[in-house]
């Protein structure tokens, strides 16, 4: 089904050039979706699990002497980080 645009209240079909440009935009969005979804998950984990700076400190200092709840959050964050679609 051809795409349409509304110009001054009138529905007008896309030109072939507009169809092609939209196809390219949609393909780019689809290709970037896994990374964007992962980045959103990482941003959410910065707020709900451990912020990145906290993760970096634990990476530096280790998990010894940390409460189990913090170790569990750290492990969840590292597990999520390992799902990076670029790696």
Q: Which two tokens stand for residue 10?
A: 């009138």
Q: How far is residue 82's CA from residue 62's CA, in Å, rounded to a whole number?
A: 18
pLDDT attached to residue 51: 95
d(CA 30, CA 34): 8
Packing angle of the helix pair 16-48, 68-81 (nearest 10 deg): 160
Mean pLDDT by runs of 10 across the 87 residues of the chain is 91 94 96 96 93 95 94 94 89
Q: Any idea where the domains of the chain sit in the sequence?
A: 14-81
What pLDDT, on the 0 to 100 scale, is given for residue 54? 94
* pLDDT score, position 38: 96
Q: Cα 34 vs. chain centroid, distance in angstroms?
A: 6
Q: What integer pLDDT is reported at residue 86 of this predicted model? A: 87
Closest CA to 22 of 35, 47, 4: 4
């Amino acid at each position: 089904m051809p795409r349409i645009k509304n110009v001054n209240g009138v529905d007008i079909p896309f030109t072939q050039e507009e169809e092609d440009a939209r196809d390219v935009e949609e393909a780019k969005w689809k290709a970037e979706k896994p990374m964007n979804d992962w980045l959103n998950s990482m941003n959410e984990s910065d707020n709900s699990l451990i912020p990145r700076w906290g993760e970096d400190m634990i990476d530096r200092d280790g998990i010894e002497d940390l409460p189990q709840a913090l170790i569990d959050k750290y492990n969840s964050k590292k597990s999520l980080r390992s799902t990076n679609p670029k790696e």
